[in-house]
């Protein structure tokens, strides 16, 4: 009986070690850059933000490109718009009332576009080089062919009213900016996605219409919020 108990204890200890190792891998400490999405709620205390400032890493913005201004210094770089898509449910959380619609509801939703009142997250992506739209799918990242990659993002309520025009990333501030990664559902536990810069417009009053969302082939599912060692330490509040 004592021998059996000893074997059981050894087996339990081995299981604990394996579980701890798996948790460490899933925590993403082996990623060489931060991961996204993240909680960017400006009202949370203690503050989630490591830095505050008046300067965005985005300079001039045109319809088809923007100027990227590296925070670490160096020359400005022109990045070209290479895609746009939206997520339902949302990925980054900013703490708006009623946000977000639960993932279970989103998965059960079978309409062509999310219903009015839902929260969606729109991503407009830029890259140093891009492929011709006819050679790739601009609702994925396949048109974005060379880093750095930069995502202008915002969350919005879906409305039944509104025109069917293109979704234009909102200007203005405040912005949450950080270094992270591309997003979308993981293909395995602890996945490290490619590096990407983020500029997220903080605003709980933004909307998009069902007609605007109908321009897309589908909504992208969401990657879970990243936490702990998977997050970069440079989350910056860019104010007026």
Q: Are both 150 and 121 inside the same structural domain?
A: yes
CATH of the domain at 207: 3.10.200
- On whether both 25 and 45 belong to a single domain, the answer is no
Asked if residue 131 and residue 163 are part of one domain, the reply reads yes
Q: Say yes or no to pLDDT of 20 above 60.
A: no
Q: How far apart are CA 150 and CA 198, in angstroms?
A: 6
For CA atoms 175, 176, 180, 184, the dihedral sign is negative
What does the pLDDT read at residue 72? 87
| Of residues 30 and 107, more confidently modeled | 30
Q: At 234, is the pLDDT very low, low, confident or very high (cuts 50, 70, 90)?
A: very high
- β pairing state of 58-61 and 77-87: unpaired
> Same domain, yes or no, for 1 and 74?
no
Whether 80 and 23 map to the same domain: the answer is: no
> Domain containing 9: what range?
1-30
Q: What is the mean pLDDT of residues 181-194?
A: 95
Same domain, 145 and 122: yes
Which percentage of the chain shows pLDDT scores above 70? Answer: 83
Q: Is the peptide bond before 174 cis (omega within 30 degrees of 0)?
A: yes
Same domain? For 114 and 23 the reply is no
pLDDT, one tens digit per residue, over 23-48 is 333 334 589 999 999 999 999 999 99
Distances in Å between the alpha carbon of 130 and those of 40, 124, 200? Answer: 29, 13, 22
Same domain? 19 vs 58: no
Same-domain pairing of 46 and 18: no
Q: What's the predicted TM-score (pTM) here?
A: 0.85
Mean pLDDT of the chain: 87
Identity of the highest mean pLDDT range in 35-39, 98-102, 105-109, 159-163: 35-39
Q: Which two tokens stand for residue 222?
A: 């969401």
* One domain for residues 19 and 86: no
Q: Does 127 lie in the same domain as 174?
A: yes
Instruction: Return the pLDDT at 48.
Output: 98
At 2 the pLDDT is 41
Q: Which residues contact 24 (CB under 8 A, 6 or more apart)?
A: none
Q: Number of structural domains, the chain? A: 2
The rounded Cα 148 to chain-centroid distance in angstroms is 16
Residues 14 and 124 in one domain: no
Please give the pLDDT value at position 24: 32
């Amino acid at each position: 009986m004592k021998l059996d108990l000893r074997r059981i204890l050894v087996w339990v200890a081995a299981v604990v070690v394996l579980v701890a190792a798996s948790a460490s891998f899933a925590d993403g400490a082996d990623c060489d850059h931060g991961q996204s999405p993240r909680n960017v709620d400006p009202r949370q205390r203690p503050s989630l933000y490591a830095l505050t400032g008046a300067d965005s890493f985005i300079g001039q913005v045109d319809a088809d490109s923007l100027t990227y201004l590296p925070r670490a210094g160096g020359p400005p770089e022109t990045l070209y718009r290479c895609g746009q898509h939206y997520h339902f449910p949302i990925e980054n959380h900013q703490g708006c009332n009623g946000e977000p619609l639960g993932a279970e509801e989103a998965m059960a939703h079978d309409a062509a576009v999310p219903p009015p009142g839902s929260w969606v997250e729109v991503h407009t992506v830029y890259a140093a080089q891009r492929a011709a739209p006819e050679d790739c799918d601009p609702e994925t990242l396949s048109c974005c062919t060379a880093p750095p990659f930069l995502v202008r993002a915002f969350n919005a309520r879906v409305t039944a009213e509104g025109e069917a025009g293109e979704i234009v990333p909102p200007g203005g501030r405040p912005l949450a900016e950080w270094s992270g990664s591309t997003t979308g559902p993981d293909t395995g536990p602890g996945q490290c996605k490619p590096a990407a810069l983020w500029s997220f417009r903080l605003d709980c009053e933004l909307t998009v219409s069902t007609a605007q969302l109908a321009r897309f082939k589908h909504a992208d599912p969401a990657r879970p919020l990243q936490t702990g060692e998977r997050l970069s330490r440079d989350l910056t509040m860019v104010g007026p």
